[in-house]
Amino acid sequence: MQFERIKKETVILNPQKDMAERRIPSEIRIDPLTGRTARICHFMELHWEKPDFQALIAGTESWCPFCGERVLTVTPCFPKDLIPEGRLRKDDMVLFPNIAPYDSLGAVATFGARHYLPMTDFQPEKIASAFSFAQDFFRRIEATGHPESVYHLINWNHMPPAGSSLIHPHLQVFCTSSAPNLMRQELEASKKYLEHHQSSFWEDLVADEKQSNERYLGSIGRSHWMTAFAPLGVAGDVLAVVEDARCVLDLNNQDLMDLATGLVKVMGEYDRMGIYSFNMNFFTGTKNDDHFRFHLLFSPRTFFNQRLGTPDIGAIRNLYNETLCMAFPEEINTLLKQGF
């Protein structure tokens, strides 16, 4: 497996130091599976100021559609042939159709009654239970033989910098026959890799990362945790690959608990950098995709300027789909390893 990087260097004259020459390294990394490129640069420290949460949250509960009785009055219901009871419920969590659907079988699942849960307040049991709740939905849909029951996806946008329009913690849960871009590219490339190398890319990746120990964080049960070689996020990404699991329906309760445990560790470490927001996506094959292994990607999100609300995604990412990461994934690994 090739971890290819193109090293670059910028020379500037620094007016703060009598125009002394300063050399700043950067790198372009090539994702070993898809060939996607990611830029690593060094123009700021991995440290962000958190906002005044009280001011941010103030008043949002009064109109929150997931709070109190509203979650059972204003949220929509599934048609009777799909989910006869309309919405799914488990403990204080509720799952209902997404009012802003981007596919035909989209749902939203709340994490429960609490309106605001800081990243560091999530317990592994809570996350595992929410994932298992989403799996209940997937199994119900799968049992109906629905044509969209192909890929079963969970996405998590936590807090506004990550794209959440609500404070109330929730998951986006959907079934689709149309794999999203990056997942489709991974699926196609994994299939080619297996045909070419007669081995699974994902197993080879775990073995390589474990051996080099530059980006490997550790294993929890069947899940292997590492910082991504070519990250999408400005503060790196954390990747967890589950051994022997091709798809979301292959994950057992212990896997869900192990994934939740790892996420809690990662959240705790990113919190120390001032991060309070993230995206987390499931990447899954179909149940027959022997070339694929289930993995999740955790990507911290932030504002470049908190006061102005400047997002961490600008023109280079939005229109070129070229990513910028503010530190070497190996350095991020050292920061995160303290909690692993």
In one letter, which amino acid is 219? S
Whole-number Å distance between alpha carbons of 64 and 77:
18
Q: Looking at beta carbons only, is 64 or 207 nearer to Zn ion? A: 64
Q: Looking at beta carbons only, is 116 or 304 nearer to Zn ion? A: 116
DSSP 3-state of 182? helix
In one letter, which amino acid is 91? D
Phi-psi region of 14 (alpha: psi -120 to 50; beta: other; left: phi over 0): beta
Whole-number Å distance between alpha carbons of 235 and 329:
8
DSSP state letters, 95-147? EEE-SS-SSTEEEEEE--S-S---GGG--HHHHHHHHHHHHHHHHHHHHTT-T
Q: Looking at beta carbons only, is 152 or 168 nearer to Zn ion? A: 168
**Binders of Zn ion in range 76-105 (CB under 5 A):** none
Closest distance between Zn ion and the C-beta of residue 76, in Å?
17
Q: Looking at beta carbons only, is 57 or 150 nearer to Zn ion? A: 57
Q: Looking at beta carbons only, is 67 or 266 nearer to Zn ion? A: 67
N-term to C-term CA, the chain: 26
Closest distance between Zn ion and the C-beta of residue 223, in Å?
30
Contact 267, 119 (CB under 8 A): yes
Closest distance between Zn ion and the C-beta of residue 111, in Å?
10
Closest distance between Zn ion and the C-beta of residue 48, in Å?
25
Q: Which two tokens stand for residue 66?
A: 């997931």
Give the x-and-dash track for 48-67 against Zn ion (CB under 5 A): ----------------x-xx
Closest distance between Zn ion and the C-beta of residue 27, in Å?
42
Residue number with the smallest Cβ distance to Zn ion = 64
Count of positions on this chain that bind Zn ion (CB under 5 A): 5
Length of the chain: 340
Closest distance between Zn ion and the C-beta of residue 85, in Å?
22
Closest distance between Zn ion and the C-beta of residue 101, in Å?
21
**Binding of Zn ion by 127 (CB under 5 A):** no
**Binding of Zn ion by 168 (CB under 5 A):** yes
Q: Looking at beta carbons only, is 66 or 96 nearer to Zn ion? A: 66
Q: Looking at beta carbons only, is 67 or 280 nearer to Zn ion? A: 67
- Applying CB under 5 A, which part among 38-46, 50-58, 167-175, 303-311 lies near Zn ion? 167-175
**Binding of Zn ion by 113 (CB under 5 A):** no
Whole-number Å distance between alpha carbons of 80 and 86:
7
**Binding of Zn ion by 115 (CB under 5 A):** yes
Q: Looking at beta carbons only, is 115 or 191 nearer to Zn ion? A: 115
Contact 27, 8 (CB under 8 A): yes
Give burial (CB, 10 Å; 0-12/13-18/19+) of 326. Answer: buried
Name the site residues for Zn ion (rule: CB under 5 A): 64, 66-67, 115, 168
